[in-house]
Amino acid sequence: MEVYKFGGASVKDAAGIRNVGNIIRLNAEKDLLIVVSAMGKTTNALEALTESYINGENSTHSLFEEIRQYHHSVLAELFEDESHPAFDEIENTFIEIEWMLEDDPHPGYDFNYDQIVSIGELLSSRILSAWLNHVGFKNKWLDARGVIQTDNTYREGQVDWTKTCKAIEVMAPILKDQFIVTQGFIGGTSENFSTTLGREGSDYSAAIFASCLNAEKLTIWKDVPGVLSADPKLFSDTRKYSELPYSEAMEMTYYGATVIHPKTIKPLQNSGIPLLVKPFLNPEEEGTIINETAAVCKDFPAIIVKQHQVLASISTKELLFITEDHLSEIFKAFAMAHIKINLMQVSALSFTVCFDEEKEKFNALIVALNNSFKIKYNQDLQLITIRHYKPDTIDQLSSGKIVLMEQLSRNTAQLVLK
């Protein structure tokens, strides 16, 4: 069997959903489990709804109505007959949320977030499942919250692999005579609350399903031809990799390549399942294959850009040499503020560190360090990572900009630019 994952862009409207139907038609002989993200920018819209609900703002109702209208209009375009059961299914999902919005929020922002934001995938998967049934692809809609078992770390649910695989394996026989359509990004706790696995986590869900079912292959259908050497929205001269080894793909996601969620590759590598990244608009193209044996391509550099970076320089108040004791105190503060360090450098009197700008976490860091350390920082910077760089790539990328920090290793160059 194989697992297919369709992202938000591929199901953003009725035409997108029909296109998914066509891709299934081309592969109808396979046993497929299909994982789908929320439609278009629904997750962002649900995040805004959560924020408004928790802050008790007047916009809550109109934000909710907009999301409801969007899904309703896609359904209405797909199914002329408004008595189709999909209309009721979607409406019922909205009614549940409406009830919740009428109550006071529970304590804990993240808990509320997950109960609300998780409906994006419930809606998209209901619509896709109904459409596929309608066009003759018999399928079962599976509630991922009943199989992807997580702890109660809301917004970053940690998967209990043993329980999850057991629950998924039970579903396997269904695939013999029908497809399964399920949700990415969401899971459930042992108390039956919804959790989410972190933004863009649907790829990770697909990898979990593939791994527990020991799939032959996982295909992620994207709006790009495959894994590219750089983001085509930022660079005009990008190249597509025909193949990548797992390790290289993992490194690229670590440095911030957004084409695949960083947690996706490891479970596939553990089970030796190849990952195919293919364009949903040209399904016959070959895309990029990621596996154990692929060769690393060093012919052209891979460029990964992270925006909204902070570069902070941390020194002791008495201007002492930076010792291991200081470093351990500093790292503890980063860990407690849940800030992931993207790049760092120690010098005699200061420790310089680059990380994503997230206001609340940054404030927590400053509070934690304030007693013993002085912090100076620059905001709104760019971190560029270049894998397999050539000397002129660095010059080209930094031309006209100020390089605030530079670090080179044999394969990787990193620049913090202003």
Residues of this chain that interact with ligand ASP (CB under 6 A) are 7-8, 37-38, 43, 120, 184-185, 199-202
Total of chain residues touching Mg ion, rule CB under 5 A: 3
User: For the residues of 162-230, what is the DSSP string, one character each?
Assistant: HHHHHHHHHHGGGGGTSEEEEESSEEE-TTS-EEE-STTTHHHHHHHHHHHTT-SEEEEEESSSSSBSS
Does the footprint of Mg ion cover residue 125 (CB under 5 A)?
Answer: no
Does the footprint of Mg ion cover residue 352 (CB under 5 A)?
Answer: no
Which of the listed partners (ligand ASP, Mg ion, none) does 279 bind, with a CB threshold of 5 to 8 Å by partner kind?
none
């069997």: which residue's tokens? Answer: 1
Does the footprint of Mg ion cover residue 283 (CB under 5 A)?
Answer: no
Does the footprint of Mg ion cover residue 350 (CB under 5 A)?
Answer: no
d(CA 252, CA 303): 9
Minimum Å gap between C-beta 263 and ligand ASP is: 11
Does the footprint of Mg ion cover residue 37 (CB under 5 A)?
Answer: yes
Which of the listed partners (Mg ion, ligand ASP, none) does 63 bind, with a CB threshold of 5 to 8 Å by partner kind?
none
d(CA 396, CA 401): 10
And the tokens for 118?
């998780």
Which of the listed partners (Mg ion, ligand ASP, none) does 134 bind, with a CB threshold of 5 to 8 Å by partner kind?
none
Which of the listed partners (ligand ASP, Mg ion, none) does 241 bind, with a CB threshold of 5 to 8 Å by partner kind?
none
Minimum Å gap between C-beta 272 and ligand ASP is: 24
Minimum Å gap between C-beta 6 and Mg ion is: 10
45-53 own/partner pairs: CB under 8 Å, 24+ apart: 45/70, 46/116, 46/117, 46/119, 46/120, 47/113, 47/117, 49/101, 49/116, 50/112, 50/113, 50/116, 50/117, 53/101, 53/105, 53/112, 53/116
Among 7, 201, 226, 267, binds Mg ion (CB under 5 A): 7
Query: Nearest-CB residue to ligand ASP?
Result: 202
Q: Specify whether the CB–CB gap between 43 and 8 falls below 8 A.
A: yes
Which of the listed partners (Mg ion, ligand ASP, none) does 2 bind, with a CB threshold of 5 to 8 Å by partner kind?
none
Minimum Å gap between C-beta 187 and ligand ASP is: 12
């630019």: which residue's tokens? Answer: 417
Contact residues toward Mg ion (CB under 5 A) are: 7-8, 37
